[in-house]
Chain A
């Protein structure tokens, strides 16, 4: 437990200190959402309708930007070798590192969403559900990204390959995430069924993704 907390604290501190991870993700998120109205024109109804989808897509892409950092730096400087000799089993190492990624990208991006929703004329009534859906759905984003990050470990310019591997896996998260917020805006269906599906997706990926990531890490370390 102490080892897991130490690793979590280290990864969160590193993400803050090295800046690149959080800063780039937030900057990218902001820019993508800000240029959308410029491309679509000032049709407020149209913007309000596509706002949840736009925010979710921008969030997924922004989170992917920093996904390769989950394992890459530790692999490059040899720390991953030493981490495997620690008291934590490798799947737990992967889980803790994914959790740190969620805390440093998923959470800030989700909390920023309503602010960017202003740019897209997102109805205020939909804000709480949008943020809630994003907070619940982003663990799936980080944990699934850890599979891609471990598979592309040691490859040069792995970012694009990672996106190709992982984005298709995000389709369910995207569908149910957007459905939760859209239902709150347009009605008349309830937001809860898609929201609960989103919870299920997150829980399943928290349990399963670290096992897959650990298997890929083992191969990368050989």
Chain B
């Protein structure tokens, strides 16, 4: 069960290569609330997720954690699943997950359930380099279950997933939200999960 925390953004802006992608963006997510970020290519969806994960500095504004422990750092509460899967091709599926379970969280014994989350158990001892694109994506998403973290940052998570896996993903996000977690999902195609908040980026752009 993830700890219940809230995440709020106050007037944050993002600047890349001298161009303002978005500005004065604010949202407030209580526990169990999800945020769907939509927008055309280049609108700043990935940049917003990377800002929350602490990979990209905020050009203006600030992010606020509510209800977290005093010394909690925002990136350490986040699961970031980006465009790249972060998979070691010379490791087996199990070794990949075991590393992330050890590295990201302190909970032991999460690997078998993480393997099962997207049905990768039969492939556990298969070299990750031989997986298909969709299977690699599922392995990257299984990381969400290898360690318990309250904030999920998913960047186009449905890319290359087949229909049954997409259902699993939607159910996983739903369960996470019902368990008191937060999910920020960037996507330009519809996901069936219900999101409490929506942000459309790239409406009007300032030079």
Binding site for B on A (CB under 8 A): 2-3, 5-7, 10, 13-14, 17-18, 74, 76-79, 81-87, 221-222
Contacts and interface: CB of A to CB of B under 8 A. Distances in A.
Interface in B89-116: 89-91, 99-100, 102-104, 106
A2 B100 CA distance: 11
The main secondary structure of chain B at its interface with chain A is loop
Contacts of B86: 74, 77-79, 81-82
Interface residues of B, number: 28
A7 B88 CA distance: 13
Contact of A7 (B56, B76, B85, B103): B103
A77 B87 contact: yes
A222 B102 contact: no
Contact of A86 (B55, B84, B91, B103): B103
B143 interface: yes
Interface string B61-89: 00000000000000110111011111111
Contacts of A86: 76, 103-104
B53 interface: yes
Contacts of A5: 102
A10 B87 CA distance: 12
Given A14-B90, A77-B84, A6 B103 contact: yes
Contacts of A76: 84
A84 B106 contact: no
A17 B54 CA distance: 32
A15 to B, nearest CB: 10
Given A18-B90, A84-B75, A2 B57 contact: no
23 contacts: A2-B102, A6-B102, A10-B99, A14-B88, A17-B91, A77-B84, A77-B87, A81-B53, A81-B55, A82-B80, A82-B86, A84-B54, A84-B55, A85-B53, A85-B54, A85-B78, A85-B80, A86-B76, A86-B103, A86-B104, A87-B103, A87-B104, A221-B55
B88 A77 contact: yes
A210 B80 CA distance: 24
A86 B87 CA distance: 16
Interface of B: 50, 53-57, 75-76, 78-80, 82-91, 99-100, 102-104, 106, 143
Given A3-B103, A85-B76, A78 B85 contact: yes
B80 A81 contact: yes
Nearest to A82: B86
The 10 closest A-B pairs by CB, nearest first: A78-B84, A6-B102, A79-B86, A78-B86, A85-B75, A17-B90, A3-B103, A6-B103, A82-B86, A10-B99
Given A2-B102, A14-B90, A84-B75, A222 B80 contact: no
A220 to B, nearest CB: 10
A6 B99 contact: yes
B3 to A, nearest CB: 15
